[in-house]
Copies of this chain bind each other. A is one copy, B any other.
Amino acid sequence: MEEETGTLPPKSAFSEWYNELLWRAEIMDVRYPVKGLYVWYPHGFAIRREVYRILREIMDREHREALFPLLIPASEFMKEAEHIKGFEDEVYWVTRGGKAELDIPLALRPTSETAIYPMYALWIRSHADLPLRIYQVVNSFRYETKHTRPLIRLREITSFKEAHTVHATWEEAEEQVRKAITFYREFYERLCVPVIVSRRPDWDKFPGADYTLAVDTIMPDGKTLQIGTAHHLGTHFSRTFQILFEDKNGEQKHAQQTCYGISERSIAALISLHGDDRGIILPPDVAPIQVIIVPVIVGKRKDEILAQAASLATELRGGAYRVQMDNRDLRPGAKYYYWEMRGVPLRLEIGPRDIDAGVVTAITRDGERSVLPRINLGEKVRDTLSGFEVRLREKARHRMEDGITKVTSLSEIPPALEKGIAIIPWCGERACADKLAQQSGGDVLGIITDTGKSVRKEGSCIICGEPAIPTLMGRAY
């Protein structure tokens, strides 16, 4: 087996670092012969499995998973006017089956409202059927004409988790949108990814929504990445698709709906925020391999060392850790390079001196070295991993906080955007937002809120001087 050579560009050159990291850490292969479509390497896919296991754990508490078809007939897709307008330039169309033209073209779902809601119209009859909370994890398609980027701007979104809920009242749907944000906050907390939530301006909301809340994070280059959205759909779709229910008084009413989604952008954030010049860094919870054991082999005690390493692996697996032992015929340095690149949280080295001293040498992926007693190692490993996770989360949180600047004048915005997000006072009018964007080079992301409700006024709009609401500006991906 060849040793890997070459180094990653420094993380300060983020874009180059990201592109190079994807293949060196074996996350995605970008050489697939269609623009915007990528291949998940086994290691990348193993990370995806852990990330989506966590997402499912959270969703399963109050949703049920289902699965709807990919192909949506043009007749259904074209029913909701705003929705069509929002997606018509981005939809892939299947027009041929075998050698025949199809009677009705079929859209590859860009999102599944128009696939799911005709079924909801059949499923929902009475208030007793509500609330209905379902999600699916599917591939979705956007014919992106902009620059595509692995995990971030894709033509095949391979990992779209979309939830679709139905409620009796507008307020209950509003409450569900608020809860969606708490689910996503918890999810990202477990990925050690800090987030900030805002309500998108009306011109930037989901096509067919009453309003949209969005979860953003700040990437290492200071740009913001939208990594989750939650939409109050009101009755836009239930009127179009005739989703009616009989309420307690026997009256027919249009249902209130929400939808909310997360994609593999969550993994883009995960690897971008935590990685360093040596590769990716994975929180233990999502690491396919949490502990890599490297036997440090010295000629004549080889068998003994390998046996000790193997018994260590067995013991830790029994403690429910995901453990692998690297007994390839490579220099230790090459092994360290290999597993650091792939983000393994903890490396345990065991050599003749460790055995003689009854210890194991532990090195976390952020470089903390300690010597752990061999006895009851499982507990020490737990403490070491949990300390590492806390450091990872705190470090990311501090960087995020450093990237957010409160400003009160136009001239302060560009330097704030260089670092990340500017919190500005804005009146809520589009004309002012457009001027802010033009004059600062950033975008109005939305007003700060976790609930969708307008927050209290504070300060005056930088542009027009009217009473303002604290608002996020950033340079969006």
Query: In the complex this chain forms, how many copies of it are found?
Result: 2
Alpha-carbon separation in the docked complex, A40 to B118 (Å): 14
Chain B residues, Cβ within 8 Å of A156: 69-71
Partner of A119, one of B32, B92, B106: B32
Chain B residues, Cβ within 8 Å of A34: 69, 71, 73, 106
Q: Are the C-beta atoms of B97 and A92 separated by less than 8 Å?
A: yes
Q: Are the C-beta atoms of B98 and A95 separated by less than 8 Å?
A: no
Q: Are the C-beta atoms of B68 and A39 separated by less than 8 Å?
A: yes
Asked if A38 is at the interface (CB within 8 A of a chain B CB), the reply is yes
Q: Are the C-beta atoms of B97 and A94 separated by less than 8 Å?
A: no
Q: Are the C-beta atoms of A32 and B99 separated by less than 8 Å?
A: no
Alpha-carbon separation in the docked complex, A29 to B122 (Å): 10
Q: Are the C-beta atoms of B65 and A118 separated by less than 8 Å?
A: no
Partner of A49, one of B33, B65, B115: B65
Alpha-carbon separation in the docked complex, A45 to B64 (Å): 9
Asked if A158 is at the interface (CB within 8 A of a chain B CB), the reply is yes
Partner of A139, one of B37, B70, B134: B70
Q: Are the C-beta atoms of A42 and B69 separated by less than 8 Å?
A: no
**8 Å CB interface, A1-19 against B:** 1-2
Asked if A202 is at the interface (CB within 8 A of a chain B CB), the reply is no
Q: Are the C-beta atoms of A45 and B29 separated by less than 8 Å?
A: no
Closest to A155 in B: B71
Chain A 123-149, CB within 8 Å of chain B: the 1/0 string?
A: 100001000001000010001010000
Alpha-carbon separation in the docked complex, A76 to B33 (Å): 9
A: contact size bracket: 35 or more
Alpha-carbon separation in the docked complex, A96 to B105 (Å): 10
Chain A 30-52, CB within 8 Å of chain B: the 1/0 string?
A: 01111001111110011011000
Asked if A108 is at the interface (CB within 8 A of a chain B CB), the reply is yes
Segment of A83-91, A252-260, A303-311, A385-393 in the binding face: A83-91
Given contacts A65-B45, A99-B88, whether A119 and B70 have CB atoms under 8 Å apart is no
Asked if A67 is at the interface (CB within 8 A of a chain B CB), the reply is yes
Q: Are the C-beta atoms of A158 and B67 separated by less than 8 Å?
A: yes
Q: Are the C-beta atoms of B42 and A65 separated by less than 8 Å?
A: yes
Alpha-carbon separation in the docked complex, A94 to B96 (Å): 7
Partner of A91, one of B71, B93, B98, B122: B98
The distance from the CB of A74 to the nearest CB of chain B, in whole angstroms, is: 11
Chain B residues, Cβ within 8 Å of A320: none
Chain B residues, Cβ within 8 Å of A96: 92-93, 95, 105
Q: Are the C-beta atoms of A88 and B98 separated by less than 8 Å?
A: yes
Partner of A118, one of B33, B46, B155: B33
Asked if A357 is at the interface (CB within 8 A of a chain B CB), the reply is no
Asked if A66 is at the interface (CB within 8 A of a chain B CB), the reply is yes
Q: Are the C-beta atoms of A67 and B40 separated by less than 8 Å?
A: yes
Q: Are the C-beta atoms of A67 and B45 separated by less than 8 Å?
A: yes
**8 Å CB interface, A52-83 against B:** 64-71, 73, 75-76
Given contacts A31-B122, A70-B156, whether A42 and B94 have CB atoms under 8 Å apart is no
Partner of A64, one of B42, B66, B93, B97: B42
Q: Are the C-beta atoms of A66 and B39 separated by less than 8 Å?
A: yes
Alpha-carbon separation in the docked complex, A75 to B90 (Å): 23
Q: Are the C-beta atoms of A71 and B40 separated by less than 8 Å?
A: no
Chain B residues, Cβ within 8 Å of A95: 93-96
The distance from the CB of A83 to the nearest CB of chain B, in whole angstroms, is: 15
Closest to A129 in B: B1
Q: Are the C-beta atoms of A90 and B98 separated by less than 8 Å?
A: yes
Chain B residues, Cβ within 8 Å of A139: 70, 139
Alpha-carbon separation in the docked complex, A156 to B69 (Å): 7
The distance from the CB of A339 to the nearest CB of chain B, in whole angstroms, is: 16
Chain B residues, Cβ within 8 Å of A155: 71
Alpha-carbon separation in the docked complex, A128 to B90 (Å): 43
Q: Are the C-beta atoms of B1 and A143 separated by less than 8 Å?
A: no
Residues on A facing B (Cβ under 8 Å)? 1-2, 29, 31-34, 37-42, 45-46, 48-49, 64-71, 73, 75-76, 88-99, 105-106, 108, 115, 118-119, 122-123, 128, 134, 139, 143, 145, 155-156, 158
Interchain Cβ contacts under 8 Å between A and B, 30 examples: A32-B69, A32-B119, A33-B76, A34-B71, A34-B73, A37-B69, A38-B69, A39-B66, A39-B69, A40-B67, A42-B64, A42-B65, A42-B134, A45-B66, A46-B64, A46-B65, A49-B65, A69-B158, A71-B155, A88-B99, A92-B94, A92-B97, A92-B106, A93-B94, A93-B95, A93-B97, A95-B95, A96-B105, A97-B143, A98-B143
